[in-house]
Amino acid sequence: MISIGELVYNSRKDKKITQEELAEISKVNLRTIQRIENNQNKPRESTLKLIFDVLEINNTISEFKQNKITKNYAELFFEYMFLIVINLVLMGIIGWLTLDSEANLNSRFAALLLSFFIPIFIVLLTKNINKTERLLKFGSGLFLYIIASIISVGFPTAFLTGLVVCLSIALFTLFYGDNFMNREKSPDL
């Protein structure tokens, strides 16, 4: 199956139209056309209709939407499986470093550092999503782990071992991490 980007590119080349001309005629932003042709963008149906009309493409948009839906179920499954694994790994690392019977001050300090640096790394890799979505995707397991640990070992133990503190720092960093990264340097005086 040919992708939308390949179809648009091939049709545009067959008609000997440049990207700039296609953008002007179809009233679609040039950058949008470039992203569509490079398969970096999942265009809206209205955008595709404008481009298809100009290029006189006979394929219906519903053909592409059907393939897109099938692909999205597989993508969603793997994405959510990945998120579950990431949440379990984060919970396991921080829990092991704080709640383990042999946990000492060094391991608790390591948990504290990791509870900041792992979420900052996640923030760096997910700059294109908003903070609420990031918190829900990567922090839901941490939030559930706080609740489960308070129920199972009690709040005093969970707090004194540093688990609640570390998980709270991780959640805070996931939500506000992009604010740390976007600080502009003040000019030297």
> Does residue 75 sit in helix, strand or coil?
helix
Position 10 pLDDT exceeds 50 = yes
In whole angstroms, give the CA distance from residue 7 to residue 10: 5
In whole angstroms, give the CA distance from residue 89 to residue 95: 10
DSSP 186: P
For residues 167 and 83, membership in a common domain is answered with: yes
pLDDT of residue 69: 47
- State pTM to two decimals: 0.56
Q: Domain end: 13, 29, 59, which one?
A: 59
Q: Strand runs (DSSP E) across 16-159, as ranges?
A: none
The boundaries of the domain holding residue 108 are: 73-181
Task: Please compute the mean of the pLDDT values over residues 170-175 and round it to a whole number.
Answer: 90
Handedness of CA 99, 103, 105, 108 (dihedral sign): negative
Half-sphere exposure (Cβ direction) of 55: Cα atoms closer than 13 Å? 30
For residues 80 and 167, membership in a common domain is answered with: yes
pLDDT of residue 185: 46
The CATH number of whichever domain residue 17 belongs to comes to 1.10.260.40
For residues 102 and 144, membership in a common domain is answered with: yes
For residues 89 and 32, membership in a common domain is answered with: no
In whole angstroms, give the CA distance from residue 53 to residue 67: 21
Question: Is 14 part of a structural domain of the chain?
Answer: yes
Contact 39, 33 (CB under 8 A): no
Burial 151-173 (b: 16+ CB within 10 A, else e): eeeeeeebeebbbbbbbebbbeb
Position 168 pLDDT exceeds 50 = yes
For residues 86 and 132, membership in a common domain is answered with: yes
For residues 108 and 172, membership in a common domain is answered with: yes
Look up residue 78 and give its two tokens. 């793997």
Position 132 pLDDT exceeds 80 = yes
CA 188 vs CA 23, 182, 183, 184, 185: distances in Å: 43, 18, 15, 12, 9
pLDDT tens for residues 179-189? 877 654 444 44
pLDDT tens for residues 51-89? 888 888 876 555 555 455 455 677 778 888 888 888 888
Scanning the structure block, which residue is given the tokens 């900041």? 116
pLDDT of residue 189: 44
In whole angstroms, give the CA distance from residue 77 to residue 83: 10
pLDDT of residue 161: 86
